[in-house]
Chains A and B, each alone.
Chain A
Amino acid sequence: MAIDRIFKDEASEEKGERARMASFVGAMAIADLVKTTLGPKGMDKILQSTGRGREVTVTNDGATILKSLHIDNPAAKVLLDISKVQDDEVGDGTTSVVVLAGELLREAEKLVASKIHPMTIISGFRMAAECARNTLLEKVVDNKADSEKFRSDLLNIAMTTLSSKILSQDKEHFAKLAVDAVMRLNGSTNLESIQIIKKPGGSLKDSFLDEGFILDKKIGIGQPKRIENAKILVANTAMDTDKVKIYGARVRVDSMARVAQIETAEKEKMREKVQKIIGHGINCFVNRQLIYNFPEELFADAGILAIEHADFDGIERLALVTGGEIASTFDNPESVKLGHCDLIEEIMIGEDKLIHFSGVAMGQACTIVLRGASHHVLDEAERSLHDALCVLSQTVNDSRVLLGGGWPEMVMAREVDALAKKTPGKKSLAIEAFSRALLAIPTIIADNAGLDSAELISQLRAEHQNKGCTAGIDVISGSVGDMAERGICEAFKVKQAILLSSTEAAEMILRVDEIITCAPRRREDRMEIFHLFCNPVLRHWIGNGVVVVGGRMLTFKSSNEKPIDFRRAKICSFPIAKVKVLDNNSLSSRASWPLSEGEKEISVRGEKNVWRCHHRNNGV
């Protein structure tokens, strides 16, 4: 009796060898894809979006490339994820982490082919990774105490990071920019306070770091264009119609005269508000929200510079640099902290007018203005600079530093090799393989630079037999060189993250012996979810953040009992952000479907199905 199919139509199942093959192939394909971008002479990729406009991105940032790929292979998705995490966590090494994981799997595939059990390989890899990490820990240099040296370390790291990017031509310039910017943060990793403004025109070299702060806004008409010794009030308040917020209030009048009266009262209210603001003794007012003509006029009359609609980040940064607080009420002028700066003026960068705050009290935030020939160049420059800033800000906190140019890989490979020789049993083969995978990274760097990698690597390996060797590949001159002398440095935190996450990913993929792919969700289902969100009732809940299911936000159950995650529905057309959808990733967690206390189930009729969703009403 033949088995009835167990799975749904279109769902598929791969077992044993085939499954392993599928994941190896997927992972290696991804690694090979980004491989050519590795190193100072790595090449860029053009990414063309499928959306409207077919926008083009030119980049060699691994995370950016991988993010924009549509991948179906599940193993490849694991690699994608580690690259993303690497980006979020340390900011650089997004390509290396994928390449290393790919190389590990390539080696593992050979071992599996020679009939070594994946579990044995995994335990070998684990030992090797541990050994490699310990080696790195031994070799790190920490110059935190010596601020002069530490700064030069930072400069070196920034230059090394930038050398593989579009900014490599002006790397000294940008390295200095980045180090200066990061040093101002005083150890915080909050990169938001570094603002990057991109203005096309000029060349990359014209980019500069501004001590003060630049706001990409124009000064209102009739207001002073230059203020010395400015007192700034940073605010987040409605300056259009300051309406009565008490719920259910509405204006109901019986004659035109009354309308006029109330209008005057409204105007009076606004005038009072402006008076209060002026009463703070300020000469510059920056608001996050719009400022309507009427109050703007009042400000202009009082000789106060009023800047409207500064975005949220801008406001926060401005508050940071000027040392003021973000105000929303204006009743106690004496206790509101005002911001100060020496000079506010309108400046021109390229063809755009911007507002420049200089001589600011607090130095935490700063602005980097990037100039370049085209948007593509600027975008890529921003990404590169962002990488450098990330690495630097992480290094400021964890100041351990390693040499670069393939030096760490060589050192690790040597120690791992030594471990393999000491380890009895089949595991040693896996450890050996790990060391080969490590060597692949300098090999690829050399290959990408068009050098004779086999020759260089063997030379390097020979050199590394001496203890305390500092040799690495100098791609620029195309030979083996002393890394300490050339000042090629990398942050320990980045290297460690690369090592650990790629081993972890390789391990995960190796452990898999079966791949089950569910039938892809039908497009109509998505459409239906979309229509559901147009349902006014649901939107109301979402807008009010009411639909909560056991800590997770709104999840749906279609009539066929399958939970559906509405985040997948890719709807951005209305503000669901308010309920913070990212709250819970554990949709797969079990015990999620029974109703918990205080929840009730509500059905909503979609086009095809009746949807049931859990609705938690928290006493509202």
Chain B
Amino acid sequence: MALAFDEFGRPFIILKEQEQKSRLRGLDAQKSNISAGKAVARILRTSLGPKGMDKMLQSPDGDVTITNDGATILEQMDVDNQIAKLMVELSRSQDYEIGDGTTGVVVMAGALLEKAERLLERGIHPIRIAEGYEMASRISVDHLERVANKFEFDESNLEPLIQTCMTTLSSKIVNRCKRSLAEIAVKAVLAVADLERKDVNLDLIKVEGKVGGKLEDTELIYGIVVDKDMSHPQMPKQIEDAKIAILTCPFEPPKPKTKHKVDIDTVEKFQTLRLQEQKYFDDMVQKCKDVGATLVICQWGFDDEANHLLMHRNLPAVRWVGGVELELIAIATGGRIVPRFQELSPEKLGKAGMVREKSFGTTKDRMLYIEHCANSRAVTIFIRGGNKMIIEETKRSLHDALCVARNLIRNNSIVYGGGSAEISCSIAVEAAADRYPGVEQYAIRAFGDALESIPMALAENSGLQPIETLSAVKSQQIKDNNPHFGIDCNDVGTNDMREQNVFETLIGKQQQILLATQVVKMILKIDDVISPSDY
């Protein structure tokens, strides 16, 4: 009620410049919100599953991205509608938390909204729907816990991990070589994983891409690849058993932070200063040499003279290496980042078995490989591909695969994919619905229906008859009391996802359901939308 009355009965206006704002209230507001949410979900629906299609996005600057990663699509979509922005946020949080299933979560939320709309039309209060959804989501999360399998792997048997990563990759354009990419992802994660603490720091995995070559040339390097070359063209291009000094101080004359001035007023001073300067350069290089370094990696630039001195003393050097890369190099080679020349000491040097410069293609593209490091806990995945878009998409796909592998190491429970988990949850939710007295029962049932939309979309995208396939699978699940039946997207001939080796992580699935429910609840609770009207 924007119109209120004072004690004399005269109306006054509460909202500022009320007449200039458009406003939606009650059922209209909810419906408009729901339809916006549904519209976003509809865009992503066709991207779900191994046969899902891609979207082409053109950014404001004309760059083209081709992807079927839900989070990326939504992020680059340039969405204006507030509710649509919530959906974008939803898939982003799934991405941050889990890294995979970003499309599924939006499709799920869309389905929940669609079912809610029908209930609203029947006069059920949105809060009751929201509560029903909440209960149902709890039921399904518990149910997932029950049907989940523990899945065993160790360093000698990586096959299960690879299979799971392959499930993730199979929906991307890179599925042509999903096997090799999955292996790369798993090996990379295991290389940096802390199996005792069950944690993986994905920051230690550097994903670097370079156009050219083919996807099959993508490789995992136990070491670091930096997009840099030696500072002097005549320095050696290959160093074996390198001892690396990692510096964050430039090979340049000192720049004290305090303000100072050196005044030159006599010829003697001029000459001493000159000598000092020369000595300074000499000292810098000598210090590096003294501690036994055979390669200098520096965050900053070099003065020409310093550069030549380095070359002259046979000390190869790399300049302008970024901070993050520097850290990775330090981790990989077991060295310490040294901020001052005075602090250089032999034990602070990093060690690498081989450092080499490699050139690519016909242009002046060179990269520096640091391999056989003392500590192989930092690795690089080096992606090759025919064009920029493929490389970007491969990076995203690998990110998903890495996240999945990480989640499995954190928590090795899995549920089966292909929509089987959703169908089984839906059966459980519907069975539970009857036990709830009150209006919520309807909402819970609607939730069960909504869960089916994921397998439905999978079947649709795979070119199967959606309703027929779904009902067949559902009845099969109930009959055999086996939650492993799902949609056979790749036309393999069996519905049993256990045989097809299609898994997803338990936490990922649970998170999807919880996040989708939360957002839907939030949207349902909005009953008033005030926006400045167009001008």
Contact = CB atoms under 8 A, between A and B. Distances in A.
9 contacts: A4-B32, A6-B39, A77-B64, A236-B308, A518-B60, A520-B61, A551-B323, A588-B76, A588-B392
Given A3-B39, A500-B214, A518-B58, A246 B234 contact: no
B56 A512 contact: yes
B264 A5 contact: no
Interface of B: 28, 31-32, 35-36, 39-40, 43, 46, 51, 53-62, 64-66, 68, 71-73, 75-81, 84, 92, 95-96, 173, 176, 209, 211-215, 227, 232-234, 248, 252-256, 259-267, 270-271, 273-274, 276-278, 280-281, 299-301, 303-305, 307-309, 311-312, 320, 322-325, 339, 359-365, 385-390, 392, 395-396, 399, 463
B90 to A, nearest CB: 14
Given A6-B39, A191-B362, A82 B386 contact: yes
Given A88-B363, A329-B309, A511-B173, 13 more contacts: A6-B84, A7-B78, A11-B78, A77-B62, A78-B66, A81-B388, A244-B273, A331-B278, A516-B43, A548-B323, A565-B61, A588-B392, A618-B248
A477 interface: no
B339 to A, nearest CB: 6
Interface string A501-522: 1001101110111111111110
Contacts of A5: 80-81
A245 interface: yes
Most chain A CB within 10 A, of B176, B308, B386, B399, is at B386
B62 A249 contact: no
Contact-residue size bin, chain A (C-beta under 8 Å from the other chain): 35 or more
A238 B304 CA distance: 9
Interface of A: 1-9, 11, 13, 19, 23, 72, 74-75, 77-78, 81-82, 85, 87-91, 117-119, 126, 188-192, 236-238, 244-254, 258, 261-262, 264-266, 269, 316, 319, 325-329, 331-332, 335-336, 390, 393-394, 500-501, 504-505, 507-509, 511-521, 545, 548, 550-551, 565, 568, 578-580, 582-583, 585-586, 588-591, 598, 616, 618-620
Contacts of A500: 214, 386
Nearest to A587: B63
A513 B300 CA distance: 46
Contacts of B64: 74, 77-78
B254 A518 contact: no
Contacts, number: 298
A192 B71 CA distance: 42
A329 B308 contact: yes
B372 to A, nearest CB: 23
Contact of B324 (A237, A390, A550): A550
A258 B270 CA distance: 12
A88 B211 contact: yes
B60 A88 contact: no
Nearest to B395: A586
Contacts of B254: 246-247
Chain B contact residues, majority secondary structure: mixed
Contact of B72 (A265, A519, A590): A590
Nearest to A319: B234
Most chain B CB within 10 A, of A3, A258, A264, is at A3
B66 to A, nearest CB: 5
Contacts of A618: 248, 299, 323
B94 to A, nearest CB: 11
Shortest Cβ-Cβ A-B pairs, 3 listed: A328-B308, A501-B386, A513-B53
B79 A8 contact: yes
B529 to A, nearest CB: 9
A8 B78 contact: yes
Contact of A245 (B227, B252, B261): B252
Contact of A325 (B43, B213, B281, B311): B311
Contacts of A582: 227
A250 B57 contact: no
A88 B384 CA distance: 13
A252 B58 contact: no
Contacts of A4: 32, 36, 81
Contacts of A620: 300
A513 B48 CA distance: 12
Contact of A512 (B51, B54, B59, B320): B54
A515 B271 CA distance: 68
A548 B322 contact: yes
Contacts of A585: 209, 388, 392
Contacts of A316: 233
